[in-house]
Amino acid sequence: MPQAVIAIHGGAGTITRAAMDANREREYTTALEQVLLAGQRVLADGGSALDAVTEAVRLLEECPLFNAGRGAVLTNAGTYELDAAVMNGATLDTGAVACVKRVRNPVLAARAVLDHSEHVLFAAEGAEAFAEAQGLELVAPEYYFTQARHDQWVRARASSGMALLDHDAATLAAQAAQVAGGAADPIDPDSKFGTVGAVACDAAGNLAAATSTGGVTNKQVGRVGDTPIVGAGCYADDVAAVSATGTGEMFIRTVAAYDVSAQMRYAGLSLEESARRVVMEKLPAIGGRGGLIAVDRAGNVTLPFNTEGMYRGVARVGEPVNVWIYG
């Protein structure tokens, strides 16, 4: 019997130490610890890996520090479009939603798809209609708003030279100047990605993964990244469970999450070596930046990333939780 374990991430990128003072660092560290403790509690109470990752990602969505749920980034239209997926390694059952604009917790919509639909992926209005029919909480777009993400969006638009509406321009320029000195998200706004995720192995040796995101700042409306794509940003089977974060397009093109499992199953590599090859070799070969968290059914955990930092942590049942930010 493996020792039950959960690992989480809150996004990878150029996490600038300059923007990260002691208070800010404590905020992130505390948030990660609280989520890990909650996931650890699910597992300690005999809960499944699937329930543990769902709860951990729900809490990460609730926390405005991370780019998922409340705290999500804005599209180039100034709107929010969220994606999430969850997968049960024991059964290969999966559920995912893409481009939802009104669901408070996209991971719960993904879980409802897994539990209650013959389909596995719903997009846009159809995804919202499904979530609503399942009784999930819908919110107004303002719910997702955080000043830090808004400021990040203003900077992204300014640096991309994108035209602003006249009545917005002065206000936004003033805001941009005001926040340019810092106080915003410590992930460098020039590497504008972030995602949250969790992987777990429960006491029965079953694996599960969940991933959720607001996407990339100033993304084109309708863009879907790797998060809701089974095999790319989220995957679990009876060999490994994986949740990824980074430049989503490259994770799709390399089928990054499934590739960790495939290398273990077909080439006999270890979890750590499979994950290392994906993150340190296959992704960089096409310009992919980011990282992933992965667990195997023996309870081994690996957390590789090719960026300056990745918000991440691990909690084994019966042991203290551990969180890290930098490399």
Question: Could you give the string, one character per residue 2-41, with x where binding to a copy of itself holds by CB under 8 A and - elsewhere?
Answer: ----------------------------------------
Least separation in angstroms between residue 123's CB and a copy of itself is 4
| Binders in 234-293 for a copy of itself, by CB under 8 A | 235, 249, 252-255, 258-259, 262-263, 265-267, 286
Residue-wise DSSP of 42-95: HHHTT--HHHHHHHHHHHHHH-TTSSSSTTPPPBTTS---EEEEEEETTTTEEE
Catalytic annotation present for 29: no
Distance linking the first and last C-alpha atoms of the chain: 31
Question: Could you give the string, one character per residue 291-310, with x where binding to a copy of itself holds by CB under 8 A and - elsewhere?
Answer: --------------------
Parallel, antiparallel, or unpaired: how do β-strands 196-201 and 5-13 relate?
A: antiparallel
Catalytic residue (choose from 54, 75, 94, 195): 195
CA separation for the pair 109, 85 (Å, rounded):
9
CA separation for the pair 249, 163 (Å, rounded):
25
C-beta closer to a copy of itself: residue 181 or 268: 268
Least separation in angstroms between residue 136's CB and a copy of itself is 15
Interface size with a copy of itself, residues (CB under 8 A): 43
Asked whether the CA dihedral 235, 294, 97, 219 is positive or negative, the reply is negative
Least separation in angstroms between residue 216's CB and a copy of itself is 9
C-beta closer to a copy of itself: residue 27 or 238: 238
Beta-ladder partners of 211? 85, 197
- Please select the residue that binds a copy of itself; options are 117, 147, 159, 178, rule is CB under 8 A: 117
C-alpha 86: how far from chain center: 11
CA separation for the pair 65, 246 (Å, rounded):
17
Of 102-110, 182-190, 225-233, 238-246: span binding a copy of itself (CB under 8 A): 225-233
- Please select the residue that binds a copy of itself; options are 92, 162, 170, 177, rule is CB under 8 A: 92
- Please select the residue that binds a copy of itself; options are 220, 298, 319, 326, rule is CB under 8 A: 220
Q: What Cα–Cα distance (Å) separates residue 250 from each residue in 245, 300, 306?
A: 11, 26, 13
Angle of CA points 244, 61, 309, to nearest 5°: 45
C-beta closer to a copy of itself: residue 92 or 162: 92
C-alpha 61: how far from chain center: 9
Can residue 138 be called a binding residue for a copy of itself (CB under 8 A)? no
Asked whether the CA dihedral 326, 213, 229, 285 is positive or negative, the reply is negative
| Alpha helices (runs of H) in 3-48, residue ranges in sequence order | 22-44
- Please select the residue that binds a copy of itself; options are 13, 39, 71, 231, rule is CB under 8 A: 231
- Please select the residue that binds a copy of itself; options are 111, 219, 289, 316, rule is CB under 8 A: 219
CA separation for the pair 201, 208 (Å, rounded):
7
Number of neighbouring beta carbons within 10 Å of residue 131: 25
- Residues with a known catalytic role: 195
- Give me the residues that bind a copy of itself (CB under 8 A), please: 92-94, 98-99, 117-127, 129-130, 219-225, 229-232, 235, 249, 252-255, 258-259, 262-263, 265-267, 286
